[in-house]
Amino acid sequence: MVNTGEVSFLSEFQFIIFVKMNGVTSDRDVSDVNEDFQLDGGQMNDLLQQLETYTPVIPDGVARHYLNRAGVNTTDPAVVRLIALASQKFISDIVNDAMQLNRMKGSSQTSRGGKKEKRSLLTMEDLLPSLAERGIKVKKPSYYP
């Protein structure tokens, strides 16, 4: 999973981690080494409190099932919801980028004077570049064998 990892503790709640994932490094990793992207202690408490009220899209049972598959034994719903929320955000970010790409393409192609195209279809054409930005390479089969 991780080849090398260095951890340095600045304070009780803040930390910076250098990461190399499976030998693949991207520019993103270096830029992530930044205090602004990490959570404060007080923010952590806020987040946990939010989790109690806010239910992620992924149901608790489903998330717990996949965590059990990974070997995590949980009785705490906060941990489960935290992971579910993070996964949800991960996918949400990708889809948001694809949406922006779609709108960019749509605005350049269709004329402004015509009807506003309300129906937006998420296609692989929008998804692939969005994934490529994150270093996830997906190959779409060009034909059905």
Instruction: Kindly identify the residues of this chain, within the stretch 100-139, that bind another protein according to CB under 8 A.
Output: 102, 118-124, 127, 136, 138
- Counting Cβ atoms within 10 Å, is residue 126 exposed (0-12), middle (13-18) or buried (19+)? buried
Q: How many residues at the interface with another protein, by CB under 8 A?
A: 72
58: left (phi over 0), alpha (psi -120 to 50) or beta: beta
- Closest separation in Å from C-beta 143 to another protein: 13
The correct pick among 129, 140, 142, 145 for binding another protein (CB under 8 A) is: 140
- Closest separation in Å from C-beta 95 to another protein: 5
39 binds another protein (CB under 8 A): yes
61 binds another protein (CB under 8 A): yes
64: left (phi over 0), alpha (psi -120 to 50) or beta: alpha
70 binds another protein (CB under 8 A): yes
45 binds another protein (CB under 8 A): yes
Nearest by Cα to 63 from 47, 85, 36, 95: 85
